[in-house]
């Protein structure tokens, strides 16, 4: 087993992913080991909080085996993984939104919990806060581009055109600059 792992380290990520899609457990472990940190980094940028990022990564890890079975090698595995992560983040946000909607007005316990959450959110630094304040699509785009993804790839991942990505980036920069300004003037 160990022997095969060593051999696998030299094969390309896409081959690894295809092998994993075909049911090779060793390939799957190797793939995940290699990409876990990058996945977590993106999750952190998409969520803006460590605990949430861990949860999101867990969600992705749990569902990854099933998703990987549909991977056919059309896109690079990193692109594909990013797409999975972004979609997972969307799903999670949607769930949280509906949960919050359902939870509003739930009495003291929920109010206290929300307050505690808000406090925790204040603790994180300015940038992550600002990121969280951005609209979801801008945040996703920014997270990807800050992770050295090209505009074209980001467009592929998010399913929009390259031009849209460039526009979103400039928009995000604008909004961040604005936020910074208000911060400084206060």
Partner 1 sequence: MSDDLNDLKNLMDAATPAPNAAARAKNIALAQKNFETLQGSRNGARLTSDRPNKGFISGVKNMLNQMTSRAGLTASTALIAVGLVAFTPIGEGLLNPGDFWETNVTSAVQENATGGSVSAGNADITLGGYAEFGIGYSEDRSADEVEIYNFRLRNPAPIERDLGLPGSTRGRDSSRPFADEMLAQSDLALGNAADQAAAAPQTLSRRALSESIALGAIVAEEAPALTPRFDQDFDTINPSDPNTETFANEKPNPVKITTETPVSTFSIDMDTASYAVIRNSLTNGQMPNPSAVRIEEMVNYFTYDYPAPTEGNAFQPTVSVTQTPWNADTQLVQIGLQGAVPDVADRPPLNLVFLIDTSGSMSSANKLPLLKQSFALMLAQLRPEDQVAIVTYAGSAGQVLAPTPAGDRSTILAALNNLGAGGATAGQAGLQQAYATAAAMAKEGDVNRVILATDGDFNVGLNDPEALKTYIADKRNSGTYLSVLGFGRGNLDDATMQALAQNGNGTAAYIDTLSEAQKVLVDQLTGALFPIANDVKIQVEFNPAQISEYRLIGYETRALRREDFNNNKVDAGDIGAGHQVTALYEVTPVGSPAELNDALRYGDAAAPAAGASDELAFLRLRYKAPGEATSQLIETPITATDASDAGFAAAMAGFGHLLRDSTYVGDWSYTDAIALANATRGSDPFGYRAEAIQLLRLAQSLSR
- Shortest reach from residue 142's CB to partner 1, in Å: 8
Check residue 184 for interaction with partner 1 (CB under 8 A).
Answer: no
Among residues 148, 163, 151, 167, which one has the least CA distance to residue 45?
148
- Shortest reach from residue 105's CB to partner 1, in Å: 26
Among 47, 57, 78, 141, binds partner 1 (CB under 8 A): 57
Check residue 82 for interaction with partner 1 (CB under 8 A).
Answer: no
Decide: 157 and 144 in contact? Cβ < 8 Å: yes
Of 54 and 137, which has the nearer Cβ to partner 1? 54
Q: What does each C-alpha distance from 162 to 10, 75, 83, 155, 175 come to in angstroms?
A: 33, 16, 15, 5, 20
Alpha-carbon Rg for the chain in angstroms? 19
Distance CA 34, CA 36 (A): 6
Distance CA 122, CA 108 (A): 21
**What residues from 149 to 178 belong to the interface with partner 1 (CB under 8 A)?**
169, 173, 176-177
Distance CA 184, CA 174 (A): 15
Among 11, 12, 58, 181, binds partner 1 (CB under 8 A): 58
- Which residues of the shown chain bind partner 1 in the complex (CB under 8 A)? 1-2, 20, 23, 25-26, 28-29, 32-33, 36-37, 40-41, 44-45, 50, 54, 57-70, 87-88, 91-92, 124-125, 127-128, 142, 145-146, 169, 173, 176-177
């Amino acid at each position: 087993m160990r022997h095969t792992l060593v051999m696998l380290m030299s094969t390309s990520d896409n081959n690894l992913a295809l092998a994993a899609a075909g049911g090779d457990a060793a390939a799957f472990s190797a793939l995940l080991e290699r990409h876990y940190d990058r996945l977590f980094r993106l999750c952190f940028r998409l969520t803006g909080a460590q605990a949430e990022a861990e949860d999101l990564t867990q969600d992705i890890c749990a569902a990854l085996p099933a998703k990987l079975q549909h991977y056919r090698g059309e896109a690079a595995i990193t692109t594909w993984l990013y797409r999975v992560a972004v979609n997972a983040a969307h799903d999670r946000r949607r769930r949280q939104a509906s949960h919050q909607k359902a939870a509003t007005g739930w009495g003291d316990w929920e109010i206290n919990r929300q307050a505690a959450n808000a406090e925790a959110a204040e603790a994180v630094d300015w940038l992550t806060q600002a990121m969280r304040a951005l609209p979801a699509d801008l945040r996703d785009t920014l997270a990807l581009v800050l992770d050295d993804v090209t505009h074209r790839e980001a467009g592929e991942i998010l399913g929009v055109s390259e031009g849209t990505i460039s526009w979103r980036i400039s928009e995000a920069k604008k909004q961040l600059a604005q936020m910074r300004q208000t911060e400084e003037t206060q």
